[in-house]
Amino acid sequence: MSPDARADAAALVASARRLFADDPDALGVLDDLDRRLAEPLRLALAGIVKAGKSTLLNALLGERIAPTDAGECTRIVTWYRWADTPSVTAHLTAGPARRLPVRRSRGMLVIALGDLPAEEVDRIEVGWPSAVLRSMTLIDTPGIESLSLDVSARSAAFLTPEDNPSSADAIVYLMRHLHPSDLGFLEAFRDTAAGEARTVNAVAVLSRADEIGSGRIDSLLSAGKVAARYEREGDLGSLVLGVTPVAGLLAEGARTLRESEFVAFGKLAALERSAREKLLVSSDRFVRPTDVVDLDEDTRRQLLARFGIYGVRLATSLVRVGVADSSELAASLLEQSGLTPLQELVARQFGDRSDALKVRATTDAVERLLRRLPGEEGTDVRAALERLQASAHDLKELDLLSRVRLGTPPLAGPDAAAAARLIGGHGTGASTRLGLPADAGPEALRDAALAELDRWRTLGASPLADRTSREACAVVTRSLEGLLSEVGEVGPGEPAAHVVAAGGPVEGRPEGADQ
């Protein structure tokens, strides 16, 4: 999306502000929109209770900030934004925001509400000087399906509000196995995330992937297969843009590995095989008093808490096969944890679309506000809104993508798959869209794009096509044209067709494509 779209959206908000000058409620909504447009992408981490949301958040930050615990831990929606200095603020449902003390215990933040009852706190905002937060705001949510119903309700109210678009731009949904409630939640999020337009803006993470194979050393391979199956078949495919396995604890440990821990793993690796296997047979055995290894119980307990039994097993075997120092170990562990593919998936799917997602949220919110106005008031704002909606091609791409993913007509079969790829279903890079290798030269890209353009124009112009499929073809054509303008000149003799003739097949086009 062009940067102007974001500016246009800001202008839309500004003009709406004049219209609602005496409506404090609407002004509050518009303030929120202004902030949202100015901010980086808001990425929410959601999932059923104990899915490992806070752990993954720490792994993404590369720092253990979010408190994690064996029991249910996160009970209030917590925002992590970029700030120069650490700060913790509690936003109340009624009344002014309140600054809370920044206290840390063993690295993790201690959020002390003091005399504030949890139900009066709307959200907690943590300002943190972490480079990751410059490009996205992370939101940690309480688990759904919690036994304390009000905690689940708080998450639901935040992520899938009944009468408003969600405050999150996109979502990383963590699940351990596909559970019916996971599907229910994702459907609800899809329906509210960007208004009625139904954009798919979630990716799913098979979290705690190390546990899927009972902590065996090949657990993550197993998890990868499970994730691939979920993505391929079933209902999940229509609700998320991708599924990837992540061992959150391992990733968190890898991002924060200490030299002392590397030394400890070295000692474990140096043990004789049968002694080592005996020690690593279960978590209880690992922390039991023993003198076979020169590590005191507390150190071992710490290792286990930080890496899990799978992490300890993996790190030990990595050291055994010759990892030389702590940074190399951290890199290997990170690679095994699956965090990097997740980061790539998020960047690919949401990074380039963050403008589109924000503009969509803005237009939806403004549209909702305008509905409150009677009759013909605010015609200019309405016109601006319509202009923005009509011109924003990215929004149309998202619309079509969600329809294709849902399996609803207009397109079917291989056409649908190709269309999904071309409009950025697998990522918005030019080579990804065209299904070419990442290092394809501009010539190859241009040729492929021209061939595709031709095919889709023909498809759209077919007399058998109904209106919806013609519209779908138009969206794909438009994406391809945008792509061509990026990679190079449009070939000679090509019309700069924004309008697709609704008549018969266009003659001479195949020859044009062959050039």
Partner 1 sequence: MSEQTLTPQQDTGHAPRRAVVSDAPQAPANPALAGLVEHVGRLATTAGRTDLVERLLATRRRLQDPNVRVVVVGEFKQGKSKLINALVNAPACPIDDDVATSVPTSVGYGDEPAAFVFRRTDGEPGRDDLVREPIPLENLADYVSESGNPGNEKNLVGAEVLLPREILKGGLRLVDSPGVGSLDSASALATLSALSSAHAVLLVSDASQEYTEPEVQLLKRAMRISPNVAAVLAKTDLYPDWREIETIDRGHLTGIGDLPLFPVSSDLRLLAATEQDRELNTESGFPALVAHLRADVLQRAETIVARSALHDVSFVVEQMTLSTRTELSALANPEGTPRLIAELEDAKAKADDFRSRSSRWQVALADGVADLISDMEHDLRDRLRRVQREAEQAIDEGDPGPIWDQLAEWIDQRVASGVSETFVWTDERSQWLTDEIAQIFAQEQFELPRVAVGSTDGLLDPVERLPDFDPGHLSAGEKIYIGVRGSYGGVLMVGLATGLIGLSLINPLSLLAGVLVGRRAYREDMTARLTRRRFEAKNIVRRYIDEVTFQVSKQLKDRLRIVQRTNRDHFGAIADQTHRSLSDAVLAAKQTAGVYASERDQRMQVLQGQLRELEQVAGRLPALPAAPDQAKAVGR
Distances (CA, A) of 383 to 7, 75, 165, 379, 395: 16, 43, 21, 6, 17
179 binds partner 1 (CB under 8 A): yes
Nearer to partner 1, 305 or 318 (CB): 305
- Regarding 175 and contact with partner 1 (CB under 8 A), the answer is no
Binding flag, residue 232, partner 1 (CB under 8 A): no
Stretch that binds partner 1, among 301-309, 440-448, 477-485, 491-499 (CB under 8 A): 301-309
Answer yes or no: are the C-beta atoms of 181 and 236 closer than 8 Å.
Answer: no
- Select from 149, 321, 324, 499 the one that contacts partner 1 (CB under 8 A): 149
Grouping H, G, I as helix, E, B as strand and the rest as coil, residue 476 is helix
Binder to partner 1 among 96, 114, 180, 374 (CB under 8 A)? 180
Alpha-carbon distance of 293 to 199, in angstroms, equals 55
Quick check: helix, strand or coil at residue 499?
A: coil
Identify the CA nearest to 46 among candidates 201, 253, 195: 201
Closest CB to partner 1 among 49 and 90?
49
Shortest CB 48 distance to partner 1, Å? 7
Report residue 353 CA to chain centroid gap.
11
* Residue 447 in tokens: 């040729």
d(CA 263, CA 251): 19
- Give the nearest distance from C-beta 326 to partner 1 in angstroms: 23
Residue 71 binds to partner 1 (criterion: CB under 8 A): yes
If binding means CB under 8 A, how many residues of this protein chain bind partner 1? 44
Name the 3-class secondary structure at 293. Answer: coil
Number of helices (H) and strands (E), helices first, in the chain? 22, 12
Euclidean distance between CA atoms 514 and 226, whole angstroms? 42
Assess 372 for contact with partner 1 (CB under 8 A): no
Nearest CB to partner 1, comparing residues 215 and 242: 215
Minimum CB separation from partner 1 for residue 181, in Å? 6
Identify residues 451-470 at the interface with partner 1 (CB under 8 A): 466-467
Residue 222 interacts with partner 1 (CB under 8 A): yes or no = yes
Q: Using CB atoms within 10 Å of the CB of residue 10, give its burial: 0 to 12 exposed, 13 to 18 middle, 19+ buried.
A: middle
Stretch near partner 1 under the rule CB under 8 A, chosen from 30-38, 44-52, 128-136, 417-425: 44-52
Q: Which stretch binds partner 1 (CB under 8 A): 106-114, 130-138, 223-231, 444-452?
A: 223-231
Strand 121-128 versus strand 78-82 pairing type: parallel
Binding footprint of partner 1 on the chain (CB under 8 A):
48-50, 70-72, 145-147, 149, 152, 176-177, 179-181, 187, 208, 211-215, 219, 222-223, 225-226, 229, 281-287, 301, 304-305, 308-310, 466-467
